[in-house]
Every structure is written in C-alpha cells, then in structure tokens.
Amino acid sequence: MTDVLIVGAGPAGLAAAVNLSCHGLADGLRIVDPSGTWLAAWRRRFASQDIPILRSPAVHHPHPDPFALLEHAGGQGLVASGGTQLPTTRAFDRFVDDLVAARDLADRVEPIAAVGLELTDDGHAAVSLSNGEVVRPDRVVLATNARSPAVPEALAPATAAGRALAGDAPHVDRVPSGGRLAVIGAGLSAAHLALGAARRGAHVTLLARHRLRVRRFDTHPSWLGPRKRRPFEQEPDPHVRRRTVDTARGGGSIPARFRRALDACTEAGQLDLRERVSVVACDDGGGALDLTLDDGARVRVDEVWCATGGRLDVASDPLCRPLLGRSPVAVADGLPDLADDLTWPGTTVHLTGFAAALRLGPTAGNLVGHRRAALRLAASIRGDDPVAADRIATGAGACPVGAVGHPLTGAER
C-alpha cells in the first residue's frame, strides 16, 4: 500500500484521487482542503461569475475515461458548439457528485490545510497540517493552484480603499451601490463578470489591454495531440518551454458568442467597451474612483473588478519554497522543471495543475491537464512509464466508463 496525501480538493486533486481509486491505489489516500468538500473553489467561481456552461468540451473532466461524462449525461445537459458538446455547469456538477459517490470519495476531504513542508534526506516530505499533525506519506500531491491574483499597480489607491476586487472576490450579485463598474481584462472571466454585472443593472466599462480575441478554447486543440506535444516534450530548455506555454495561451480570449453578447450589451447602452487601453493612474475621490487611461481618457467608477489572471511562483509558495531550498531545480518564470512523473526532482512530491506546465504544456491548468497529471501519478506509483500512460489515455478506452463504479481489472490497467 502506498500512502498518498493530496493537498487541495479542486478538479486537479479530484482527478488524482479518482485515478488512484480506479487503479485500486486509494487505500492509503488522504485528502486535505480547508473547505472540507470537493471543488469548493471551482463551484464558488462558477457561481460568482454566473457561468452556465463550461468552456471546455464534455470529454474533459476528472475521470480517466474521456467519454465518462457524455455517457453519464445521456444526452442531457450538453450544448452543441462547433462540432463538440459543452457540458452545462449543472451537468458537470452532477457528474462530479456521482463520480465522487461511486468512487467512495464523498467524505474523504478533511477540512484542514497543509501549512508547512519539510524534506527528509531521502526526498520524502513531512507535511504539517493545520490541526497540528505532521504526516510523512510515501507520496504527496500538491494540487493547490497557488496563484496570486495580478492587480495592475496603478490601482493601489483603489485596493487600499477596498474598491479594487481581484481573484475570487468579484461576484456578479454584488454590484456596487452606485452602479458604475470597471472590469479589467480581456479573457472569459472578464466577459462573464462584465455581462453578469450589466444584466444586473450596473453600467460597466470593460477595459482590455489588447483587442478582444475571439477563440473557442483558451488553448488551441492541436495541443491535445502529439504534433504540438512531442516537440514540446523534447525541448531541453525549460525557458523555451515556458515561452511556448505563454505563446500558446496567448493572454485572454473569448468564444464568439461572448463577443456577440458584449456587442449587444454595448448597443443596449449597458456596456462601454474600451480596447487597447491600460489604467495608468487611479484617484480615490472619496465617493468615487477616477481612473486615468493611457490614451488620456478618464473614467469615473464606484468599483474596479480585476479579471487579469493570476501568477504562480514556486519561490513564493510556502509549500514549494522548502523544495526549492533542499532540491534546487530550474525555475522558468515561476514554474519548476519537474520530472516526467511530475515529481519535484529528487523528491516524492508531485505537482499538478498549472504548476506542471513545463512538463504537460499549456493545458496543464485545465481539466484535460489535470487528467493527464493524474494518469502520470498513478503510473508512477505502479512503477510504469508515466509518459506512456499519459499518451495512451489520449486515445479511447484507457479506463472504461464501467470503472466509475468498479476498480480496473488487471487487463484494463
């Protein structure tokens, strides 16, 4: 039996737990997350942005079999979009709930945080938990998505006045009482927040640093196959891989239907869309905020919501900093150069989510990346080749839908 501690119960942690369970490797499994439930942060974000449909196709979810959700949905709760099916938020939630129940994972999330990590000489981790326990599992999986929200520096006065909200703080049901709102960003979160607030009566100014880019997915689907992935995996320089990840993600983008919805809101006089502008100054005038843009324009608002993404930097993550100190690896703009099984080299600590992007590529932080990370983790514990396990799973049949309720047989493994 391998003792595994998963830190973080988001989609990445769930994909890891489900995979281990599918392979009969969950006996020594513990999962910690202060929320005490699966996907708490995910569900909070979807509620605060009022997101009815996922951006990613229904084949992306935490089960190892890509077709498991489609089969579970039975044609319900799916929205056709350009040759693919997107799950509604409700269908995705239902699938997750049933999956968690089927894998007997429902009550497994302990409502505690990992607060510290130390490495022993043999590369194992001693993890301190918020309940005072120190655990020494065979493997640790960090699935914490430890990003800090990026807030433009010019907004410091608004932040100090509590009028600049970022990360998970903005909520479409809490538009400022004066009703004048600036949303900063050019991605789907910015669009959801702007549209949600406008539909609730706010007058929204949407400020985008570049022209809004229309793209169906945040990363081109060619990144799901070997044509893009293989050269990426073979590139020895982590800094080149880092630049490739950034280029492939290319900043924010929105699907065409959101562009149409923003245009409709503009025509209705609820939205003022300003592209290719940045905020260069912000004055807190007591009753309102005066934003100065780099084109010289001024905008008066009651609150600013930043949907400007988040930065992940292992050097400032308290659970990764000790790894960097004891077992230094190359770090490219905040991301570590992990081993093929996504362990921090020289340790038994695996990283998943966007933190694994230098190995998995630009989709590491998405549902499909979480699945690939989980496949590599299970293979590593079984003593199999993690890269081969990841490749096989991109085809059909790696883990049959029947495996939702039953561990894989030897042949299926």
Ligand X SMILES: Cc1cc2nc3c(=O)[nH]c(=O)nc-3n(C[C@H](O)[C@H](O)[C@H](O)COP(=O)(O)OP(=O)(O)OC[C@H]3O[C@@H](n4cnc5c(N)ncnc54)[C@H](O)[C@@H]3O)c2cc1C
Q: Do 176 and 303 form a contact (C-beta atoms < 8 A)?
A: yes
DSSP 12-59: HHHHHHHHHHHTT--TTEEEE-TT-STTHHHHHHHHHTT--B-SS-TT
Q: Cβ closer to ligand X: 189 or 205?
A: 189
Q: How far apart are CA 345 and CA 338, in angstroms?
A: 6
Binding status of residue 12 toward ligand X by CB under 6 A: yes
Is residue 255 a contact point for ligand X (CB under 6 A)?
A: no
Binding mask 299-338 for ligand X (x = CB under 6 A): ----------------------------------------
Which of 56/347 has CB closer to ligand X? 56
Segment holding 117, helix H or strand E:
strand 114-119
**Interactions with ligand X, residue window 181-220 (CB under 6 A):** 189
Residue number, 181 or 188, with CB nearest to ligand X: 188
4, 18, 21, 55: which one contacts ligand X (CB under 6 A)?
Answer: 55
Q: Which is nearer to ligand X, 143 or 254 (CB)?
A: 143
CB-based contact 96:82 (threshold 8 Å): no
Q: Give the interface segment with ligand X, choosing from 20-28, 143-151, 338-346, 378-386 (CB under 6 A).
A: 143-151
CB of 7 to ligand X, least distance (A): 5
Structure tokens at 224: 């799901």
Interactions with ligand X, residue window 87-116 (CB under 6 A): 113-114
Sign of the CA dihedral running 290, 291, 294, 298:
negative
Q: How far is CA 95 from CA 10, 51, 100, 307, 352, in A?
A: 14, 17, 8, 28, 22
Among 17, 21, 25, 60, binds ligand X (CB under 6 A): 60
The footprint of ligand X on residues 148-167 (CB under 6 A) is none
What is the phi/psi pair of residue 64, to 5°?
Answer: -65, -25
Looking at beta carbons only, is 148 or 409 nearer to ligand X? 148
Indicate whether 56 belongs to the interface with ligand X (CB under 6 A): yes
Does 64 bind ligand X (CB under 6 A)? Our answer is: no
145 binds ligand X per the rule CB under 6 A: yes
Segment near ligand X (CB under 6 A), from 48-56, 321-329, 335-343, 383-391?
Answer: 48-56
Gap between the Cα atoms of 72 and 98, Å rounded:
9
Residue 109's H or E segment, with its range, is strand 109-110
Torsion sign (Cα): 58, 60, 61, 63: positive
Instruction: Indicate whether 366 belongs to the interface with ligand X (CB under 6 A).
Output: yes
289/342 with CB nearer ligand X: 342
Contacts of 390 (CB under 8 A, 6+ apart): 372, 375, 376, 379
Q: What stretches of 261-360 adopt beta strand conformation (E)?
A: 271-275, 279-284, 289-293, 298-301, 303-306, 310-312, 331-332, 335-336, 349-351
Q: Name the 3-class secondary structure at 145.
A: coil
Stretch that binds ligand X, among 1-9, 175-183, 230-238, 291-299 (CB under 6 A): 1-9
Q: How many residues bind ligand X (CB under 6 A)?
A: 30
**Least distance (Å) between residue 60 CB and ligand X:** 5
Tokens of 78: 């799916």
Map residues 23-42 to x or -, x wherever contact with ligand X holds by CB under 6 A: ---------xxxx----xxx
Judged by CB under 6 A, does residue 252 bind ligand X? Answer: no
d(CA 61, CA 93): 10
CB of 56 or CB of 302, closer to ligand X: 56
Kindly state the smallest distance separating residue 361's Cβ from ligand X, in Å: 14
Please report how close the Cβ of residue 268 comes to ligand X at its closest, in angstroms: 24
Cα separation of the two ends of the chain: 17
Token pair listed for 413: 């493994």
Residue 165 dihedral angles phi and psi, to the nearest 5°: -105, 140
The answer to whether residue 365 forms part of the interface with ligand X (CB under 6 A) is yes
Contacts to ligand X by CB under 6 A: 7-13, 32-35, 40-42, 45, 49, 54-56, 60, 113-114, 143-145, 189, 353, 365-367
